[in-house]
Chains A and B, each alone.
Chain A
Amino acid sequence: MSTTTKPSPAIAPAPTKRSPLSRHNLGTVVGFEFTRTVKKPRFWIATLAIPVVMAIIFVLIFASNTSTSATAQAQKNASLNFTYTDESGIISEAAAAAMGGSKASDPDTALSAVRAGTSDAYFAYPANPATDTVKVYGTDRGVFANNTYEAVAKQLLAVAAQTTINSPELTAAAGGEVKVQTETFRDGNVSGGFGSALPPLMFLLLFYVVILLLSNQMLNSTLEEKENRVTEMILTTLNPTTLIVGKIISLFLVGLVQVSVFLAPVVVGYVFFRDRLAMPDFDLSSLTFEPGPLIIGALLLLNGFTLFTAVLVAIGAVMPTAKEAGVIFGPLMALIFVPFYAISLILSDPTAPIVQVFTYFPLSAPVTAMLRNGFGTLGTGEAIFIIAMLFILGVLILRLAVHLFRYGSIQYSSKLSITKTLRRRPAELTGK
């Protein structure tokens, strides 16, 4: 009966023996999801947009710093011709002369000279500079250059005071120019101070970056199967757990690519153009890497990521379209920023009721706990409880997400009833 003349591909090659198939399929899902994301032009447009903007900012800073440096040098080289009157008797004429100043005999004459532009500035030192105001008059040179007058007036007073004290030590002490080294102890051991807070707080930064970059893709990951009507093909070929775990792994890999792309210009700028870009010179030796907070921070990051991913995937499984899912997505994302509204309270009074609520409410717990962990106010018992809570909830919600996808994603065009799904009566879901 067949009318076909071409060689038929109807008889497929025998499937290669692999064991177990689920592991093979996990790799296949990860590969497919990752490849199709990174090969899309819009992914690279979105990913490269941020470094491009950063590069533009760096160029502007570079140009600005070059200009500012030249201007500062020019100002430094320019001499200031000023007069002064001194009711306090502190100012030394020699010191003033060294800075380009001369004592005026009459304040009105000195001020008139400034008004006329024949003198750059006139400083009127009162009898008691500690309580009374030093008055500075100068010819206008622009908003920024005018600051020079005040700086010179203060500097002249400081030099005069140092000359009067005649002791470098006392001068430094009076000016607060002393070096202080603080050492604190916790459980009998030296604690690292602010240097020990930064490393665990890096996990918080990483959490924000990962969630902000990937949350939208997490939300859409299972919506795509529904919107494209692929669900039935998938459900008869692939365990939904494998599909969802594969998607999460691929999203994480995509996130790593994005973070690498974002960090590349920063690293290049820091290594090669640090001085030109006025980037701070980090002294890594001041950082203290304490194993406890680092392990807790890593676990909070991992379990917090798991929880948020599971919640977003579950929302994707419930909602029929990305547009409708977005209604829930906004408030959910707000929850990871809410703790920052109470950050001063979190740092100063971790026992406050609102801080406790933020610490133990699952969706605000990762951020709050990571903050407290960084600043050393999260007890070990609290940390273990929160880590366990996030892990258990994350796994439970992930299972729920798989269940919702398994039995609810066939409901293509309407919102899923979670209650009905949990009753495991999927036929009811279709509403037929």
Chain B
Amino acid sequence: MGTERDTGVTRRGFLGLTAGTAAGVALGMRSFKAHAAVPHTEETWEGGTVIPSTCNMCVNRCGIRCRVVNGVLEKIDGDIRNPRSRGGTCAKGQAGIMSVYDPDRVKHPMIRVGKRGEGKWRRASWDEAFEYVADNLARIIKQHGPESLLWSSTTDLTEQFFVRLGIHLPTPNFARHATLCLASRNVGYFATMGGVPDSDLANAKYILMFGANRTESFQLPDNWTMIEGIKNGAKLTVVDPRMTYTAAKGEWIPIRPRTDMALTLALMHVLIKEELYDKEFVATNTHGFDELKAHVANLTPEWAAQETEIPAEKIVAMAREMAAAAPAVVVYPGRRTSWYTNDSQFRRTLPMLMALLGAFDAPGSHSFGSPKARLGSFEWEIEPFDVAERFDHFETRYPLANHEDGGYVSLRDAIVDGTTAYPVKGWMIYKQNPLAAVLDGKKSLKMAQQMDFICAIDVQPSETAWMADIILPETTYLERLDPLWAPSGPRAYVGIRQPVVPPQGEAKPILDIIKGVAKALDAKHEFETPLSQVFNFSMEEFIDAQLKGLPIDRQTLMQEGIWLGPEEKKSYGAYRSGKKQFNTPSGKIEFVSERFRRNKFPALPEYETPQEVPGQQRLVSGRHAWFTHQRGHANNLWLHELYPENEVWIHPELARQKGISEGEEVLVRSSVGEIKIKAKVTPRIRKDTVFICHGFGGNSAGQTTAQGKGGADFMLMESAGDEISDNQATHETFVEVVKV
């Protein structure tokens, strides 16, 4: 530490430095007030003005209430009316305050003047910035066609405006977040049951989680319904080579990594052999049971015990406990499933296991169709486009993946290895940090280096923004009006995200940035529909269109922050009785996947024994509750305070063998990179595995709090992707931990 900011200066100190107004008031002590029989002088507290809004520190979008005193955002609390977040706000949500007042924040358009990544910038006006971006895009479109532009962004309420600009150029080359996260889960569940179901954890009697870490990476409402379920008596079993906080809430099964499918297949073997499966459900609602029965006939618990290092008796006991609790069982789908190259196939086995247990369309299990408010839709100018094929052959290589999302590993490798169908010259990036998220970080840097033009739209000078030619500063979520949010959940509702404080510096909301780029581009290139015409509306008009058909207007919604739909009692039975069909080729839950079969992938999941590297450990990665995403969390002073640097977790026995002690700096090396990082010696990890928390080891000199703290997992991970979804496979790398 040692710097003044790290140890002593407070938020009010920053306000004094950055805003330059009301510093005297803000820096002063709280006024005193006396009370009680003996007059005492205590701290006082001001309620301030409370503005309801929607969080954006992760993808869950909790309802928040923001307390503003004298124009300064003082406190963020939860909104008890929100059916999904029910009044909670985590460390990240509250530290959103520091995303506004972060001294490293980009507050003005910045144009690169030194070499790429060197960190030399000059401040530009917005007019100049829009001209600069339009000049470069128009030049590339003219020379190489619009399809030579790569368009990267991450899921959020505002992403559609950025994507829409790409659609109208038009380029087919989008790179969205799915293959850095949940693509394999989506592909596996879609093939098996036509979608990813909701999990009724609060009423489950048995919860089985593979690696999913609901207590450290929140997903609403599952992080708190899981705890309610446990308090209601549910048994939680967590299968994971690492003991997470989630595993601490139940029974930890420290499985040998990459053998999860052996466990699920053996569980199915026991359920079928002991006739513990739900015969009626299987007969009415599933497809391919006989083939499954034959497929798992030899996959005994004894066989799985060899693979997984879980005792055979334990596997049998688990199957029996699950059958006893059925249908109130949840085998949890997971969220970030970017683990292994067989992940889509492994994910398929989870709903297959649920189908055998008849754990669907009943309380305490899976279901579709949770309450959701129906938003009206804004009518876009849409014309038919003659769009080129993607440059990376994604459609033919990954026929079952979502082609609009693209695949990060395959597109990066195609560009760097020179196997693209045509040149890729320009890269527009909105609110995404691929240079600190895609595995094999050195290779990603090469991709950036070979672009003619890179524009990053961001709040933070992220690793990716730092490599750009121009950074356009966006407002934080606490400074702008966004499209409405109406997720499915325990109860239908509509939430609004609105400005609670004015923007810092010259930051603009994304819609204004897109309009600026569109207008400047129209002057330089003729598009089928002029881009300015596409974006000829205000955010207020967009929201009003969304509210069409709902009994609430924009002003009232902004005042209230939330509109709650009617309370609905969930009804069950339509699927079980066969009245409703699943969105699969057979209309049933498919043990044998017809979609996989048609596309020449194994129709039943086939297990392969993992290959290990003697003397090395498998590297696994994950998150913790204090910062989940790359959205500048590592540079957030309040979050940095909670966890300033990550460590490599090693088992005490491995540490003894290597003579490594707690807190000692070690070298971790793989075939693609090496990092220096402190060791955490803990029994919470297997001996054959090491864990490095993602999100550290930042190398953007613009992020002065995060830079150089801890080690970056993605610099060690070798290029690999799931064979079916192209979800990046981050747990396929073996590393050597070296004492230095």
| A, B co-complexed | no
